[in-house]
Amino acid sequence: MAEDDRPKSLQDQPAQMSQVKYKRHPVYSPSEWLLESISSILALGLLIGIAIIFWSMDNKPLSAWRGRISLNATISILTTACTTALMHGVSAFIAQSKWLHFKNGPRKLADFETFDGASRGVWGSILLLTTIKWNLATIGAFVTILRLAFSPFAQQVVLIEQRDIISPPADTATRCIPQDPGVQSAVFQGLNGINIAEPFNCPGLCRWTGPYISLGFRAECRNVTQETLQSATCEGNPNGLRQCNMTTPGGLGLTTRHVFSDSSTAYILNASSQLPALSEAKLTGPFPETTRFAIYRSTPDVNFYMRDINITDCSLFLTVHEYSGAKANGSDFSFATRRELDFGVKNPWTLGNSPGGNLYAPIYMNATTAGATHVPALQIGFADLLAMGRFFESTMMATQWVEGSFVNTDLGFAAALMGDVDLNERFDALATAMTDYVRYGPNTQLAPGEIIRSEPYISIRWGYFIVPIVTEAVAILFAILSIFGNRRSRQVPLWKSSTLAMLACQYEERLGLLETTARDINEIQDEAGKAVAQLK
């Protein structure tokens, strides 16, 4: 303690400090700083090892860690070992600092206990910082307190997060030559509103990154009620059978019948193929319109007068679709967008040549571009489209339904299309189902995609590692200053934290001084080994 802090009876007495010199050993001797140096170097090595683990595992899957002990457990073990080795040296350096503290002048004897507490734990370090003037031991006290944050911050460096991993393969399909039975099945599905799951091969979450081009179909419908009714010509007895013939703007004929209080037409569908004749050498007329439909619907009242008459023209076109953003998750498959490509001309298709005539010729489109989209060569057989047109013209499609006393034989799709069904929606579904068949039919072309699976990845947050680095850096600085500071002075005993060192001390109450004899710690330990003591 400072001279002014001593009892008044001692302020006028000179400090009788014996200028003794203490024995020093080689620097590599355990009696010097060998063990503390080793522990400090070991702590630094462990910290470097932790950093190497962090660096080697950064941005890698957790499965890349091959150790028998988990990564977090390994880091916990290494940080515990690192702080243990670090604190072995820090505790010894703080304990040695108390001898320098008392050598520099008279101090309160209670400071001895404060230094001793600081060398043992955090609370003693806090007392050292708050009750004693800052000195070399202050650095060690800060290290002891920082040590509490060493392990938690080292653990915070490792962040394990789920990432989507992309890997091949996943397959979907495109094709361009439909077969008639499959087309008929697609027609049934579309007009009856039956949704069929897209066929694909995906073990989990998959995606297809590029756009895909496929031959397909498009439907258009428009209300032509007024124009068609204006063309109607009727004949027969108003109180008996009365028939009306009419033609839609699309050129398709419709015939209705009405028998007073007996029966009347509720539904008619007529269809006509728009393909050129087999003898024509090129695709003329309305192509790529392949089939045209006329649908008549009404709601007969109690006397079977036809009310709420609705007449619709619909057309089916051959076209090309671009699909993008395809993805699958389990049994769900969907496209982000689907659009019809615009080639800038009404009919981009060409009828090919065949030795057997047009029946065996292909309808094709060479590889081209539509805007920025590359379109591969596509083709479909003339015979396939012709068979499709014949199917639509057959009684499977071209049918009627008469309400009342009438035997309906050709039912077709009357149940699916009559009444207030949205024809635009149903014919769009028809075109979509036929297009899907084109993409997934017998001549499927695989479109490889990517499997997306979630896997835990390791992300190293180096910012949290600053606390362990600063703690180790300050500890190393404290070690260097303590070692070299004590090597220069032989007037301070190298007793560190030894409790036996007090045997070489004698407190002179009259002078208020702690006097010692020039005894080496080894001598003190030898003497303690021979002495016997008992507490009374």
Contact 410, 397 (CB under 8 A): no
Q: What is the mean pLDDT of the chain?
A: 80
**Of residues 324, 388, 330, the one with CA closest to residue 197:** 330
201 within some domain: yes
Question: At 239, is the secondary structure helix, strand, or coil?
Answer: coil
Last residue of a domain, one of 430, 448, 466: 448
| Measured distance CA(135)–CA(121) in Å, rounded | 18
Q: What is the pLDDT of residues 287-321, one digit of tens each?
A: 899 999 999 999 998 888 888 999 999 999 999 98
For the chain, percent of residues with pLDDT exceeding 90: 24
| Type of residue at 519 | R
Last residue of a domain, one of 424, 448, 472: 448
Residues 490 and 393 in one domain: no
- pLDDT of 399 reads 92
| Measured distance CA(150)–CA(161) in Å, rounded | 23
| Type of residue at 334 | S
Residues 464 and 380 in one domain: no
79 within some domain: yes
Count up the domains in the chain and report the number: 2
Residues 399 and 324 in one domain: yes
Q: Which two tokens stand for residue 226?
A: 């007024």
Strand residues in 170-287 grouped as ranges (E)? 171-174, 205-208, 212-223, 233-236, 241-247, 253-259, 263-273
Tell me the mean pLDDT in the region 10-30: 55
Bigger pLDDT: 212 vs 332: 212
Residues 441 and 327 in one domain: yes
Contact 334, 349 (CB under 8 A): no
Residues 441 and 524 in one domain: no
Residues 112 and 204 in one domain: no
Q: What is the pLDDT of residues 141-194, one digit of tens each?
A: 898 898 889 989 999 999 988 877 766 554 444 333 333 566 677 787 777 766
Q: What is the pLDDT of residues 25-55, one digit of tens each?
A: 666 667 677 888 888 899 999 999 999 999 9
266 within some domain: yes
Residues 148 and 249 in one domain: no
Strand residues in 248-361 grouped as ranges (E)? 253-259, 263-273, 289-300, 306-324, 326-329, 332-334, 337-340, 350-351
Bigger pLDDT: 141 vs 487: 141
464 within some domain: yes
pTM of the model: 0.55
Residues 220 and 292 in one domain: yes
Residues 261 and 408 in one domain: yes
**Of residues 392, 428, 434, the one with CA closest to residue 413:** 392
9 within some domain: no
Q: Is the pLDDT of residue 495 over 90?
A: no
Residues 154 and 186 in one domain: no
Q: Buried b vs exposed e over 418-432: b needs ≥16 C-beta within 10 Å?
A: beeeebeebbbbbbb
535 within some domain: no
Contact 262, 241 (CB under 8 A): no
175 within some domain: no
Beta-bridge mates of residue 215:
320
Confidence of residue 221 (pLDDT cuts 50, 70, 90): very high
| Measured distance CA(306)–CA(288) in Å, rounded | 35
Q: Is the pLDDT of residue 241 over 60?
A: yes
Give me the domain span that covers residue 494.
16-162+457-530
Residues 395 and 510 in one domain: no
Last residue of a domain, one of 418, 448, 478: 448
- pLDDT of 1 reads 36
Residues 112 and 239 in one domain: no
226 within some domain: yes
